[in-house]
Amino acid sequence: MRAKLTILLFLLPVLVLFGLFRFVPLVGAAGLSLSDHDLDGGREFVGAANFADLAADPRFLESLRTTAGYVAICVPLTVVVALGTALLLDQVRWGRGFFRAALLAPYVTSLVLSAVLWRRLFEPLGILGDPALVLPALAVVSTWKGFGYSMLVLFAGVQNVPAERLDAARSDGASTWQRFRHVLLPALRPALFFVVVIETIGSFQVFDTVYVLTAGGPVRASYTLAYAVYDYAFRQFDLGHAAAAGIVLWAVVLLVSLTQRRVLDRSP
């Protein structure tokens, strides 16, 4: 009993902070999504009217499709790049610390600075002005900016794979692909699950990259769900619909995360 109380005591600060900065805002947003909120502070309860309006709003429906397309591009790209660099880093025997820091550098680089550099790279090609190319371009920027964290997680997983298993598979004549498929990949499942979920959540919530590089354009080709929340709140000053869109975003992320967990847990 004393051990449980000790654990609870150490967890209490985190639980308090989580409640203040996660749970309380979520409850507040849920209440706001059910009301018509005026800029002068007036509020009128409207029930599910805001959600019904969103369901009939072409811009909001377009933001859902755009976000789904972005996630479908960004998550696999980031996971593949992170896993590939983690495997390459595991082969490095000299200067591993340097290469690890170099690969992590984009993750800790200022987004604004990164966006300026990528904008200069894209502008001569007209990529950000092409509706068909803007989402892949944004996915490339997000992957470059964020793969370092996932790489470290997967690299730690690779390091924890017993060398004896790989040596035994090599002695049995297993090829590089077979060792990866039957030895490394099963051992990396917990790390891969974590990375896929984290990257999916981040991709659904993408805002800063869109805001800095495209502002939702061209012709709303990069008008994501998180950007729609910003648009409703700070451009149209419609806090009720913005809160409703935020609740939809939260529900979508939660549903997708739970689905991923069930699917990955069932995977052989």
Question: For the residues of 214-228, what is the DSSP string, one character each?
Answer: TTT-STTTT--HHHH
Question: With pLDDT > 70 as the criterion, what percentage of the chain qualifies?
Answer: 96
Pick from 54, 44, 57: nearest CA to 244:
54
Question: In whole angstroms, what is the distance from residue 89 CA to residue 158 CA?
Answer: 10
Is it true that domain 58-266 has CATH number 1.10.3720.10?
A: yes
Pick from 153, 148, 178, 152: nearest CA to 165:
178
List, for residues 202-225, the tens digit of each pLDDT value.
Answer: 999 999 899 999 999 898 999 999
List, for residues 22-47, the tens digit of each pLDDT value.
Answer: 778 888 888 888 888 766 666 778 88
Q: Is the pLDDT of residue 262 over 60?
A: yes
List, for residues 121-150, the tens digit of each pLDDT value.
Answer: 998 889 999 999 999 999 999 999 999 999
Q: Is the pLDDT of residue 82 over 60?
A: yes
Question: In whole angstroms, what is the distance from residue 86 CA to residue 19 CA?
Answer: 35
Specify the amino acid at residue 11: L
In DSSP terms, 123 is beta-bridged to: none
List, for residues 55-72, the tens digit of each pLDDT value.
Answer: 999 999 999 999 999 999
Block residue for tokens 């990396």: 188
What is the mean predicted confidence (pLDDT) over 169-191?
81
| Mean pLDDT, all residues of the chain | 87
Q: Give the C-alpha distances (Å, rounded to integers) separating 172 from 91, 160, 184, 262.
A: 21, 21, 16, 34
User: How much helix, strand and coil, in percent to the nearest 5, is found in the chain?
Assistant: 80, 0, 20
| Domain definitions of the chain by residue range | 2-33, 58-266
What is the mean predicted confidence (pLDDT) over 104-120?
87
More confident residue, 54 or 18: 54
